[in-house]
Amino acid sequence: MKVKTIIAGNWKMNTGAKEAGELVEELLANIKTGAYGPAVVLAPPFPFLADTVQRLAAATKGRQQWMVAAQNCHQEEHGAFTGEVSAPMLKSLGVQACIVGHSERRQYFGETDTAVAKKVSALLRHGLMPIYCCGERLDERQSGRHREVVAQQITTALGNLTPGELARVVVAYEPVWAIGTGVTATPQQAREMHAFIRAELRRIAPGVADQVPILYGGSCKPDNAAGLFAGEDINGGLIGGAALSADSFAALVRIAQEAKSTA
């Protein structure tokens, strides 16, 4: 079974309402997805989710190639958690996916593997697609612990899922040392870690592991994407800064489609 190719754009805490709307319209004009093209996922900040859902619904007529994702969610369904947003709330807006475990959430907000595991489960209970992020810091790679760290993250967050649940998850590998630094993992480094993650997924659920998309997320740009996307277990990208330009994001979608159509 051929794994779905996904290009997901994480806007992080960028754009205002007007800019966000304009960016969606530019992306719709620049990105043409055919029946076998990559799935395109847009992850704007919380205030712009509803507008993005509405714009995509009107323009794409519900085509599965386009999805809207939140950048985070709380693990509980409701309660006294001021400032948080739950999976049912996202579902009610028409959001289809959610990024969880992003390195910035772990670094700046102290999110643990256990907390992220609960978020994955909450999303699955409500029919949303988790985009689960894992990856090592620079000191962990330099000390040779990068595989150990990633294996622990995957085991904690995904190890207790049923095969059916795991088949609904997308994994994003983030070499934390390559996020926002301008440094990118070499294609060989990325391929090695993606192959390792695939092996870990096979250990958890061998029957469905090969169906799980694994995205690369670490300073992926049009000038380095072809080499990255050529990897057998690299099924697309979780894009940060390059997702804020319609031209660069559209270029990444095209590069991914070309790379996987010739694979």
Q: 74, 102, 146, 194: which one is catalytic?
A: 102
Q: 111, 140, 174, 200: which one is catalytic?
A: 174
Distance CA 64, CA 235 (A): 17
Distance of CA 75 to the CA centre of its chain: 18
Which ranges in 33-168 belong to alpha helices (H)? Answer: 49-60, 87-93, 103-109, 113-125, 138-142, 146-158, 163-166
Known catalytic membership, residue 194: no
Q: Residue 100 has what DSSP assignment? A: E
Main-chain phi, psi angles of 153, to 5 degrees: -60, -45
Known catalytic membership, residue 26: no
The SS3 assignment for 132 reads strand
Q: What is the DSSP string of 141-187?
A: HHTT-HHHHHHHHHHHHHTTS-HHHHTT-EEEE--GGGSSSS----H
Residue type, 123: L
The catalytic residue positions are 102, 174
